[in-house]
Homo-oligomer: A and B are copies of this chain.
Amino acid sequence: MVTLGIDIGSTTSKCVMLRGGTDIVATSLVPGGIGTNSPDRAMAEVLAKSGLSAGDISYTVVTGYGRSNYKGADMQVSELSCHAFGGRFVFPKLRTIIDIGGQDVKVVSLSEAGKMTNFIMNDKCAAGTGRFLDVMAGILQIKLGDIETLAAMADKPSSISSTCTVFAESEVISQLAHGSTVPNVVAGICESVASRTASMVKRIGVTEQVCMSGGVAQNGGVRRALEKTLGVPIAYSPLSQLFGALGAAIYAYNKLQHEK
């Protein structure tokens, strides 16, 4: 039995196709989220990769910020539940998920049994989200993918005192004008995201195993700064950005099992 999970985020759309609730058949990740044709493109891509057709899919669950506008699924499920399912699939002892997306940050606590017991979310303020990193990368004229390497080259990370993206932007411009090196500023930016995220994580409690998900999870610079700030190792998998879609596909599978 093949199930499909679609995760429509603010900046990307993702699909995971699952066979028998355990085998990942194919995945896709397409830039562009809610309000674009990316969900359809992500769907087309996952079908092409799998060699299957839409008719082969027994059940489709959609999740993510853009789920309520999507018509092609059998069911909508909240992204928090899907993240919990997807996270546990990859890390069976997972207790804390730190999900930093393009426009929001969510921290989810799981019980030993894997049930969501608490969560905290910021979707009102760009500080500490992927958007903050985008703005900073724009000022520095660097690619997001270069942040990890640049941060590792820092000898004296800048300290960025403003939390606000807008004020931090001015601070970074002034630091560069006063001679701070790009690696030091980049390291300061990573620490700024880490300290903002850490204060959210601490409000909900840090129970190991901890992992990061969402687009920013790929950013080793932020991940390492967050490990240092929280004082715990943070697990990461190349599947981390797909937790929502993966969880949705698992949800779809479980749903069919219950209906049998």
Contacts and interface: CB of A to CB of B under 8 A. Distances in A.
A103 B171 CA distance: 13
Interface in A98-145: 103, 124-126, 131-132, 135
Contact of A167 (B103, B163, B164, B167): B103
Interface residues of A, number: 13
Contact of A126 (B124, B132, B167): B167
A232 interface: no
A44 interface: no
A166 interface: yes
A184 B58 CA distance: 48
A135 B164 CA distance: 14
A162 B124 CA distance: 7
A165 B165 contact: yes
Contacts of A135: 166
Contacts of A132: 166
Nearest to A125: B164
A195 to B, nearest CB: 14
A126 B166 contact: yes
Contacts of A162: 124
B165 A166 contact: yes
A132 B165 CA distance: 12
A132 B162 CA distance: 15
A187 to B, nearest CB: 22
Nearest to A103: B167
A65 to B, nearest CB: 13
Contacts of A165: 126, 164-166
The winner among A126, A166, A167 for most chain B CB atoms within 10 A is A166
Nearest to A167: B126
Contacts of A163: 124
18 contacts: A103-B167, A124-B162, A124-B163, A124-B164, A125-B125, A125-B164, A126-B164, A126-B165, A126-B166, A126-B167, A131-B166, A131-B167, A132-B166, A135-B166, A164-B165, A165-B165, A165-B166, A166-B166
Interface of A: 103, 124-126, 131-132, 135, 162-167
